[in-house]
A and B are shown apart, each in its own frame.
Chain A
């Protein structure tokens, strides 16, 4: 069996977008232009749908007419099948954009003699291509030729001529086959197609998930690995969760948590936009309530929130959150908040991931909540869930969407691996705990970590009131840490103590005042005494002076006369 010769590679290597959601991303542009792509997968793996989309989107989105050569399904069957994916194939056929040729190869319809070839195939394909001026062609179910005609070398011969002709014409070709061995057996090995796309279906934990893998792409980078895909009402959608370029811009914008006290604990401003937040806790610790607060806060800003609930239904959550004073109804009415409730056991993990990614792409929310992630453990192993969460975080970060994940920890599972497993991926980790003490249960909140921001590492008491979540400082006093009723009792004692102290203080103040008044009175009387003494002393002085004066006068009277005589004598003279 000779290997088919490669046609000259002088043809410019460019790509033809398929228009299939996600596929052009992982192939960085689409299928090799003017080349052959082998689409390989078992029956029911989605080959024909892929091919149909390639043709139909080619016409619709890129104005490239196409030809569909089918060896298995008739035109009526193809039309019916495509209409279930929202494609009106009939319309494209009648408007001359797509030509369909069903090649019946039922060996029961004829008998063979020797010496024939299959030139009719080439004649028909050429005619179909020319009739619409096709740029794209799908050859679906070629191996049927080998079952229809016993002369395998005639089939191989015509196929090699066909491929040569297609390349020469520069038609972008998709060929389907069930398996590679089938193609090799037919002499159309790996070297012929420039691109090989594998479609598989894998069953794990009883869930079937479809995967697409680009196994070969000559001369081009492409996303490696298996990408889960969905076949939905809009055809195939491929969710390249593992992005090829993992670089994403980070935001330094902060968003409120919806709980003022929690904002304070997180450096006063709340979470970073685009961060991933983990809220872990046992059953009934208030994880959903905390998530609801954030959802409420986001909606208040006029942004959108997509809430994936794996435990409760939309109505349950709405009703329950009403009891803590959060009314989601207006946000739902304004389409700012969407709930997507599903049982974890409904699909496999990949399917969950793919569906979530599709919903996110459609709704473009600023916040995504997964509540609780640990429920997905019923759809996959721990490692798988962890891998899924990692990819989800990657996906959300790539879109600068804030993600809040809750995980259930607690006594029913032993040591919680889920918590430890995903926590390292998270930017902020809030741990909620139940503490049973003194015959009561108290909720506690603690910020375990919060990357890139100052945060309060003190444990707070977490109260669910009819006005929402409230955080209360726990009482740390000389007798240790007190919470719950004990804290309340201590708080009461503190109040009584305060009142008593105040009372005491008042009393003391009064006493002091009194004493001061007494003292002041005493001072006043002493002053009076001093004054009296002073007056007395003055009196004494006065009296003493008067006495002196009197005595002096008396002495003066005796000595006066001679003096006067002298004076008189002087005057006379």
Chain B
């Protein structure tokens, strides 16, 4: 839905959702949150609704929604789910540049109040995986 034109070094993410579900929208906001924390402004997010483009699901091998694909830098990396429950592993998996966060002494969890609210919600609804 939103794709900001940036420099060639811009990180690119595509988020596949199916319909305007709560999970999808929280995934969008979570992704934005993470990107803001680690990439500053140097990222672009494209959101694709599979209900509108079902052929893309096959083309990009999407089964789970939401699925987030890091399309740049290569190689492609995929994360499914709301990106919320395992932030450290998501960050590590996506090879996000941690030096930026380190300079601002990155906390264990993102600090955004919105984000924390989500966490507490998720803790209630979805017991954390061990």
Contact = CB atoms under 8 A, between A and B. Distances in A.
Instruction: Count chain B CB atoms within 10 A of each CB in A112, A113, A124 and give the residue with the most.
Output: A113
Interface in A116-148: 116-121, 123-124, 126-128, 145, 148
A2 interface: no
Interface in B68-115: 77-86, 89-90, 93
Contacts of A113: 79-86, 90
B63 A128 contact: no
Interface residues of A, number: 26
B63 A105 contact: yes
B89 A110 contact: no
B82 A120 contact: no
A154 B16 CA distance: 17
Given A115-B85, A123-B57, A149 B51 contact: no
A115 B84 contact: yes
Contacts of A124: 54, 57-58, 62-63
Contacts of B16: 120
Contacts of B89: 111
B39 interface: no
A117 B64 contact: yes
Nearest to B92: A111
A123 B81 CA distance: 17
B86 A111 contact: yes
Given A120-B16, A120-B62, A124-B63, A114 B50 contact: no
B122 interface: yes
Contacts of A114: 81-82, 84-86, 122, 126, 128-129
B126 A101 contact: no
B32 interface: no
Interface in B21-68: 23, 26, 50-51, 54-55, 57-58, 61-67
B82 A127 contact: no
A110 B80 contact: yes
B64 A111 contact: no
A110 B50 contact: no
A322 interface: no
Contacts of A112: 64, 79-81
Residue of A112, A126, A149 ringed by the most chain B CB atoms within 10 A: A112
B57 A116 contact: no
Contacts of B62: 120, 124
Given A120-B50, A126-B54, A127-B54, A111 B61 contact: no
Given A113-B83, A113-B84, A114-B84, A127 B58 contact: yes
Contact of A123 (B50, B83, B122): B50
A186 B77 CA distance: 29
A109 B76 CA distance: 9
Contacts of B51: 123
B118 to A, nearest CB: 10
B14 to A, nearest CB: 13
B58 A119 contact: no
B19 to A, nearest CB: 8
Contacts of A101: 58
A123 B123 CA distance: 29
A120 B18 CA distance: 7
A115 B50 contact: no
Contacts of B58: 101, 124, 127-128
Contacts of B67: 110, 116, 120
A117 B23 contact: yes
Contacts of B81: 112-116
A104 interface: yes
A129 B90 CA distance: 35
A114 B121 CA distance: 13
Nearest to B129: A114
B64 A116 contact: yes
A389 interface: no
A115 B126 contact: yes
Contacts of B19: 119
Contacts of A126: 54
A124 B65 CA distance: 12
B82 A115 contact: yes
Contacts of A104: 61
Given A111-B79, A114-B85, A119 B18 contact: yes
**Most chain B CB atoms below 10 A, which of A114, A116, A117, A120:** A120
Interface string A285-322: 00000000000000000000000000000000000000
Contacts of A116: 23, 64-67, 80-82
Contacts of A145: 63
B114 to A, nearest CB: 16
Q: Which of A111, A119, A145 is most buried by chain B, counting CB atoms within 10 A of its CB?
A: A119
A139 to B, nearest CB: 13
A180 to B, nearest CB: 25
B122 A118 contact: no
A126 B55 CA distance: 10
B61 to A, nearest CB: 5
Contacts of B83: 113
A120 B85 contact: no
Interface in A458-488: none
24 contacts: A105-B63, A110-B67, A112-B64, A112-B79, A113-B80, A113-B81, A113-B86, A114-B122, A114-B126, A115-B23, A115-B81, A115-B82, A116-B64, A116-B82, A119-B18, A120-B57, A120-B65, A120-B67, A121-B63, A123-B50, A123-B57, A124-B58, A127-B58, A128-B58
Given A111-B93, A124-B62, 18 more contacts: A109-B78, A113-B85, A113-B90, A114-B84, A115-B85, A115-B126, A116-B67, A118-B63, A119-B50, A123-B51, A124-B57, A124-B58, A127-B55, A127-B57, A127-B58, A145-B63, A148-B63, A149-B63
Pairs A-B, 9 closest by C-beta atoms: A113-B81, A110-B78, A127-B54, A114-B85, A116-B81, A119-B18, A115-B82, A120-B62, A120-B63
